[in-house]
């Protein structure tokens, strides 16, 4: 059986507790992770009301918006944003007309996965 995120619950502020299928759990403070993202629009998720709108994406990532920000299981399991740059096999999602086509989700930019635009890899400091 593959490792999955079984549940996510808010702790305080921008801290969330993750529970995993192997029995492991940990807390992750997303404030520095999101604040370190390079696109200003992503910083809107630092507002408490927007931050609370996260979802468990198929048990393999935490996601905000329609693929606006995605942090994969590997990074949240270890609580280490440097794991975002390991070239995870994530493919760019299909965008709807309300989304800007030239932007890639945060995880795609951070992991160096090629998509509609090319950017250099920038690691998020915790």
Q: What is the CATH number of the domain that holds 37?
A: 3.30.2020.10
Higher pLDDT, 119 or 9: 9
Please indicate, yes or no, if residue 114 is contained in any of the structural domains. no
Give the ranges where the chain is alpha helix by DSSP (H): 31-35, 48-51, 73-78, 106-111
Structural domains of the chain, count: 1
Please indicate, yes or no, if residue 74 is contained in any of the structural domains. yes
pLDDT of residue 115: 32
Please indicate, yes or no, if residue 103 is contained in any of the structural domains. no
Give the ranges where 54-126 is alpha helix by DSSP (H): 73-78, 106-111
Please indicate, yes or no, if residue 108 is contained in any of the structural domains. no
Please indicate, yes or no, if residue 44 is contained in any of the structural domains. yes
**Can you give the residue range of the structural domain that contains 49?**
5-82
SS3 call for 99: coil
pLDDT tens-digit profile of 67-107? 899 999 999 999 887 776 654 433 333 334 333 333 444 44
Nearest to 21 by CA among 35, 36, 43, 6: 6
Distance CA 114, CA 92 (A): 8
pLDDT of residue 83: 77
pLDDT tens-digit profile of 19-29? 999 999 999 99
pLDDT of residue 81: 78
């Amino acid at each position: 059986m593959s490792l999955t995120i079984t549940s996510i619950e808010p702790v305080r502020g921008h801290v969330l507790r993750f529970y995993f299928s192997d029995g492991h759990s940990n807390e992750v403070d997303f404030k520095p992770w999101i604040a370190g993202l390079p696109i200003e629009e992503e910083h809107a998720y630092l507002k408490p009301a927007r931050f609370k709108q996260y979802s468990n994406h198929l048990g393999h990532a935490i996601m905000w918006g329609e693929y606006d920000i995605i942090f994969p299981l590997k990074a949240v399991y270890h609580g280490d944003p440097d794991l975002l740059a390991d070239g995870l096999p994530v493919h760019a999602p299909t965008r709807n007309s309300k989304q800007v086509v030239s932007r890639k989700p945060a995880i795609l930019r951070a992991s160096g996965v090629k998509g509609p635009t090319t950017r250099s890899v920038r690691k998020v400091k915790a």
